[in-house]
């Protein structure tokens, strides 16, 4: 019976959140169901982790079985609301969108590859114990302690742990990291009734599936053909390092990559169509990013300049660029800027140190680590040919901007993509994290966090580029008639 509880702990929150999202999309559209299933899993499982945190914060014994009442009630309520709604009929796919024979054959082959790959990864998760490093020392360690004690015991700094005489405190190196992913791992093990590494790792297979479903659904809603959408899903899910993060489950990077990618997909959809439902998904996905890792708070800041680029005109952007340069010059002349944010902490900006609340303090100094960075991204097989496709996509994006009147979403996507590369550049070339590049540790895991979003942006760029070329060719083709 224990493993049935594990299945319920994952399926009930997933289905409940998916059906509530389905209520927001009553009109039948291509990609609707894959999209709500993808976002539904991410939001449902993270929401379950939030329930577990609330249970512990109230001082109650941890147990996910009793908490299943909440997604159960949400599921029943959603089913009742859906049953009362009028069914618009089976119009999910228009007749003109049915696949031709050869396209259907290719689509089926890719889908078969994805299914077979997921089956292999599922076996890895079932057989492979929790793997060392971060999964072992950070996320899994807290989950195991909380499951064993059925109490949300605090993890503190080593100094506080050494000074404690009660024996109730615990410590790990990354004691200050958000608890969300550890709670995700603890959720199914508490349902099982005991710590089990297979049960703790199963959510990682689910979030990879959610990434594929969410990507495909948003691609179809964007207007991509079924085959095009499936090809890009295959491109994302075939990234070697992403597959490694699934097989060696327990790391937080796959969850952050999924949340950040789904946030960008909904963000671009909202900018393009003005659909407030996509804006709602953007906000929820951004909140998930912030709850997962500290760098998630930094990465979501990329949406601010992207939004500004989409909404403001060229002249305003030029003025903002001048103001920004003025601030940089002022900082250089002034030497240091320090101020306190009430309730948040201190901010310190100087030519040598950047200190931000909830994030960290960085010593700024240039480190020319071009050789290991280029080797990891352009030569090694962790990314296939992603780096080369990304370079070509920047060229296509700029060309699309010149071929057509600039579109807000296209400018926003370009700024987001450039901003992600700028963030990686600053991290590895201007902070002490350059050692991660030299030692080939987190250099790839950081890029992985941007991969789903960058792939979706690449898809939108090439679709727009092709459309722009077709529009430009119409006047020339009509001259011969």
Query: Which has more confidence, 465 or 364?
Result: 465
The tokens of 211 are what? 């990434």
Query: Which has more confidence, 288 or 98?
Result: 288
CA 174/CA 168 separation, integer angstroms: 18
pLDDT digits (tens, 9 = 90+) for 347-364: 766 667 777 666 667 778
**Statement: residue 342 has pLDDT above 90:** no
**Statement: residue 88 has pLDDT above 50:** no
Highest mean pLDDT among 179-188, 326-335, 340-349, 423-432: 179-188
pLDDT of residue 89: 46
Highest mean pLDDT among 99-103, 210-214, 377-381: 210-214
- Show the DSSP H helices in 303-362 as ranges: 303-311, 314-334
* Type and span of the H or E element at 380: none
> What percentage of the chain has pLDDT greater than the value 70?
86
Query: Could you tell me the pTM of the whole model?
Result: 0.92
pLDDT digits (tens, 9 = 90+) for 454-464: 999 999 999 99
pLDDT of residue 388: 96
Strands 336-341 and 353-356: unpaired
Q: How confident is the model at residue 101 (pLDDT cuts 50, 70, 90)?
A: confident
pLDDT of residue 136: 86
Average pLDDT value for residue range 58-71: 94
pLDDT of residue 55: 96
The tokens of 356 are what? 């931000």
CA 315/CA 262 separation, integer angstroms: 31
| Phi, psi torsion values for 361, nearest 5 degrees | -110, 130
Query: Which has more confidence, 81 or 317?
Result: 81
Question: Mean of the per-residue pLDDT values for the chain?
Answer: 89
pLDDT digits (tens, 9 = 90+) for 185-233: 999 999 999 999 999 999 999 999 999 999 999 999 999 999 999 999 9
pLDDT digits (tens, 9 = 90+) for 283-322: 999 999 999 998 999 999 999 999 988 987 656 656 666 7
CA 464/CA 379 separation, integer angstroms: 29
Are 265 and 453 in contact, with CB atoms under 8 Å apart?
A: yes
CA 217/CA 258 separation, integer angstroms: 14
CA 32/CA 216 separation, integer angstroms: 10
> Taking the alpha carbons of 440, 446, 452, 455 in that order, is the dihedral positive or negative?
negative
Write down the residue that tokens 């889908």 correspond to.
111
Q: SS in 3 state form for 422-448?
A: HHHHHHHHHCCCHHHHHCCCHHHHHHH
pLDDT of residue 137: 87
CA 6/CA 129 separation, integer angstroms: 17
In angstroms, the Cα distances linking 185 to 36, 204, 425 are 23, 9, 32
Kindly provide the b/e burial profile for residues 357-371, where b requires at least 16 CB atoms within 10 angstroms of the residue's own CB.
eeeeebeeeeeebee
Which residues are CB-contacts of 287 (< 8 A; sequence separation ≥ 6)?
Answer: none
Closest of 230, 232, 225 to residue 96, by C-alpha: 225
CA 247/CA 125 separation, integer angstroms: 6
- Show the DSSP H helices in 58-173 as ranges: 64-67, 69-84, 101-127, 134, 140-149, 158-163
pLDDT of residue 363: 78
Which residues are CB-contacts of 381 (< 8 A; sequence separation ≥ 6)?
Answer: 240
What is residue 406's DSSP assignment?
A: P
Q: How confident is the model at residue 95 (pLDDT cuts 50, 70, 90)?
A: very low
**Statement: residue 480 has pLDDT above 50:** no
pLDDT digits (tens, 9 = 90+) for 247-261: 999 999 999 999 999
What is residue 346's DSSP assignment?
A: E
């Amino acid at each position: 019976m224990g493993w049935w509880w594990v299945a319920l702990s994952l399926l009930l929150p997933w289905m409940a959140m998916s059906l509530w999202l389905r209520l927001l999309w009553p009109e039948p559209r291509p990609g609707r169901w894959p999209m709500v299933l993808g976002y539904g899993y991410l939001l449902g499982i993270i929401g379950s982790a939030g329930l577990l945190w609330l249970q512990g914060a109230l001082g109650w014994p941890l147990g996910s079985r009793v908490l299943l009442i909440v997604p159960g009630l949400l599921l029943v309520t959603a089913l009742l609301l859906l049953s009362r709604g009028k069914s618009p009929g089976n119009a999910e796919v228009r007749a003109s969108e049915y696949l031709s024979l050869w396209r259907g054959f290719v689509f089926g082959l890719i889908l078969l590859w994805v299914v077979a790959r997921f089956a292999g990864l599922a076996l890895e998760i079932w057989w492979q114990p929790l793997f060392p490093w971060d999964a072992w020392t950070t996320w899994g360690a807290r989950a195991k302690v909380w499951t064993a004690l059925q109490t949300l015991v605090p993890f503190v700094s080593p100094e506080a742990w050494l000074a404690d005489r009660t024996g109730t405190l615990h410590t790990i190196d990354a004691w200050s990291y958000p608890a969300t992913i550890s709670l995700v791992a603890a959720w199914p093990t508490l349902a099982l009734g005991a710590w089990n590494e297979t049960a703790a790792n199963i959510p990682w297979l689910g979030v990879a599936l959610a990434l594929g479903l969410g990507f495909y659904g948003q691609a179809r809603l964007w207007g991509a053909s079924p085959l095009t959408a499936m090809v890009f899903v295959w491109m994302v899910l075939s990234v070697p390092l992403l597959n490694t993060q699934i097989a060696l489950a327990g790391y937080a990077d796959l969850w952050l990559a999924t949340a950040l990618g789904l946030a960008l997909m909904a963000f671009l959809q909202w900018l393009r169509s003005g659909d407030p439902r996509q804006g709602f998904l953007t906000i929820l996905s951004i909140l998930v990013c912030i709850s997962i890792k500290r760098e998630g708070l930094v990465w979501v800041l990329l949406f601010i300049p992207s939004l500004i680029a989409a909404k403001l005109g060229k002249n305003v952007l030029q003025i903002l660029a001048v103001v920004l340069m003025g601030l940089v010059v002022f900082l250089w002349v002034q030497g240091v800027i320090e101020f306190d944010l009430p309730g948040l902490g201190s901010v310190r900006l100087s030519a040598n140190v950047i200190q931000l609340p909830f994030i960290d303090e960085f010593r700024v100094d240039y480190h020319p680590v071009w050789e290991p960075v280029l080797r990891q991204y352009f030569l090694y097989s962790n990314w296939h040919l992603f780096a080369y496709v990304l370079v070509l996509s920047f060229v296509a994006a700029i060309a699309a901007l010149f071929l057509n009147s600039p579109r807000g979403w296209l400018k926003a996507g370009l700024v987001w993509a450039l901003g992600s590369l700028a963030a990686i550049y600053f991290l590895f070339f201007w902070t002490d994290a350059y050692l991660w590049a030299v030692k080939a540790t987190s250099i790839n895991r950081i890029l992985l966090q941007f991969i789903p979003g960058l792939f979706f942006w690449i898809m939108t760029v090439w679709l727009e580029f092709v459309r722009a070329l077709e529009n430009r060719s119409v006047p020339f083709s009509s001259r011969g008639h």
